[in-house]
């Protein structure tokens, strides 16, 4: 059935338009045209009442939500529950993220994501395996005893997904650049993170095929005057993406603003790094044998160590406007258009254009969220 969304302003990922109707045909956008040219045969699905229609938000780092963690139960049902929780906050596409685990759990996670995609679980775009090929010196909440060498057997597993995107976070100094190249050549998106690499080591990994960086500034070698580290390499490289957590805890707002200003436009992405507490009223939860305390947008261990975030993506968008002083449309791009490009999905997501998947959010001028669509299906 052909239907239309009308009476709103349409941010198509590039510009904000007034007076356009968005015509949907099943899962995709059929066309955009002036309201007065809308055929009378087209059913009106939604009158936006002057609100903004924008591309749905894409989060490439989602550890949990709705009271569950992907690590605890890497199943289709867990993925469905996480996606449903984050959809309430504008996330219409996401990568369930597995914190460093053993190969058996990684295999189950990859298989669960494959089944979730083929089974039509809304919003699932692939899997993010954050480790276990990391540096113990920058482990964060990851268990160092789970860290592994990136060998041929691991590469076979990491390239085994049949559907969607696979993103793998590695510490480049812990492996050979030939291994990074092998992953990249087989379509795996390699990001650097949980790393003590020098700037030179990072630059060599980028040449080998590494394409981005996981939660910039956190658990990586810092930018210093005579040692640029991973942060310096990430900010300097024009062709790699970085994810950054806009909760005001993982990165100071001033530092956040500097990073966004320094990076080539189109390559700074917002991520939530969300934990199980997002979408719940839970003040704490257990993960991997430790109590995690949630509050004020972040999660911490009892000793104060950061342990992921308690933040959602629309909050990250609002915080970005506040922290970096960017236009709201640019903050939206950082949470939709740019992640789509990073994942190689810029031909189907991140924009509102004919032929693209009909995944949108409805919001007002203050970036308050009202409704979402995933593949043409509106939220209740």
252 confidence band (pLDDT: 50, 70, 90): very high
Q: Supply the pLDDT for residue 140.
A: 87
Give the pLDDT confidence of 281-313 residue by residue, as tens digits.
Answer: 999 999 988 999 998 889 999 999 999 999 999
Q: Supply the pLDDT for residue 65.
A: 97
Q: Are residues 318 and 359 in the same domain?
A: no
Q: Are residues 39 and 155 in the same domain?
A: no
Q: Are residues 295 and 372 in the same domain?
A: no
Residue 296 has a CB neighbour count (10 Å cut-off) of 11
Which alpha helices (H) appear in the chain, and where do they start and end? 76-87, 103-118, 152-158, 177-185, 199-208, 229-236, 253-262, 313-324, 328-335, 337-342
Give the pLDDT confidence of 135-158 residue by residue, as tens digits.
Answer: 999 998 999 999 999 999 999 999
Q: Supply the pLDDT for residue 296.
A: 86
Does the pLDDT at position 380 exceed 80? no
Residue 273 catalytic? Answer: yes
Domain harbouring 101, CATH code: 3.20.20.140
Query: 357: domain range?
Result: 2-54+351-378
Residues 95-120: what's their mean pLDDT?
Answer: 97
Q: Are residues 206 and 246 in the same domain?
A: yes
Q: Are residues 61 and 50 in the same domain?
A: no
Q: Are residues 97 and 195 in the same domain?
A: yes
Residues 76-99: what's their mean pLDDT?
Answer: 98
Q: Supply the pLDDT for residue 223.
A: 98
Give the pLDDT confidence of 47-77 residue by residue, as tens digits.
Answer: 999 999 999 999 999 999 999 999 999 999 9
Q: Are residues 239 and 190 in the same domain?
A: yes
Determine what percent of the chain is predicted with pLDDT higher than 90.
97
**Residue of 114, 247, 273, 312 marked active site:** 273
Residues 312-320: what's their mean pLDDT?
Answer: 98
Q: Supply the pLDDT for residue 1.
A: 79
Strand 212-213 with 189-192, pairing: parallel
Task: State the Cα torsion 228-343-91-45 to the nearest 10°.
Answer: 150
User: Taking the model in full, what pTM does it have?
Assistant: 0.97
Q: How far apart are CA 350 and CA 357, in angstroms?
A: 9
Q: Are residues 252 and 366 in the same domain?
A: no
């Amino acid at each position: 059935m052909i239907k239309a969304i009308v009476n709103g302003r349409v941010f198509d990922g590039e510009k904000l338009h007034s007076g356009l109707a968005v015509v949907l045909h099943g899962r995709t956008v059929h066309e955009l045209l002036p309201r007065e040219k809308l055929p009378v045969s087209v059913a009106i699905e939604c009158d936006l009442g002057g609100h903004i229609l924008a591309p749905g938000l894409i989060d490439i780092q989602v550890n949990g939500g709705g009271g569950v963690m992907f690590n605890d139960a890497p199943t289709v049902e867990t993925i469905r529950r996480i996606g449903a929780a984050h959809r309430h906050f504008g996330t219409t596409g996401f990568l369930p993220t597995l914190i460093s685990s053993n190969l058996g759990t990684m295999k189950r996670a990859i298989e669960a994501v494959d089944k979730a995609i083929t089974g039509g679980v809304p919003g699932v775009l692939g899997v993010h395996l954050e480790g276990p090929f990391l540096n113990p010196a920058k482990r964060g909440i990851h268990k160092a005893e789970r860290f592994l060498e990136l060998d041929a057997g691991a590469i076979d597993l990491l390239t085994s997904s049949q559907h969607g995107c696979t993103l793998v976070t590695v510490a480049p100094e812990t492996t050979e650049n030939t291994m990074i190249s092998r992953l990249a050549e087989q379509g795996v998106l390699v990001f650097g993170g949980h790393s003590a690499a020098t700037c030179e080591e990072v630059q060599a990994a980028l040449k080998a095929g590494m394409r981005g960086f996981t939660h910039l500034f956190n658990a990586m070698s810092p930018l210093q005057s005579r040692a640029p580290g991973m942060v310096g390499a990430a900010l300097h490289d024009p062709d790699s993406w970085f994810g950054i957590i806009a909760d005001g805890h993982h990165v100071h707002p001033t530092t956040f603003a500097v990073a966004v200003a320094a990076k080539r436009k189109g390559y700074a992405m917002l991520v939530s790094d969300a934990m199980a507490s997002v979408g719940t009223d839970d003040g704490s939860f257990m993960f991997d044998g430790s109590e995690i305390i949630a509050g004020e947008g972040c999660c911490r261990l009892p000793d104060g160590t950061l342990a992921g975030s308690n933040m959602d993506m629309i909050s990250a968008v609002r915080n970005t406007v506040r922290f970096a002083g960017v236009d709201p449309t640019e903050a939206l791009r950082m949470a939709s258009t740019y992640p789509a490009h990073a994942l190689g999905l810029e031909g189907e997501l991140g924009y509102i254009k004919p032929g693209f998947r009909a995944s949108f959010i409805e919001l007002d001028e203050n970036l308050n969220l009202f409704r979402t669509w995933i593949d043409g299906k509106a939220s209740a």
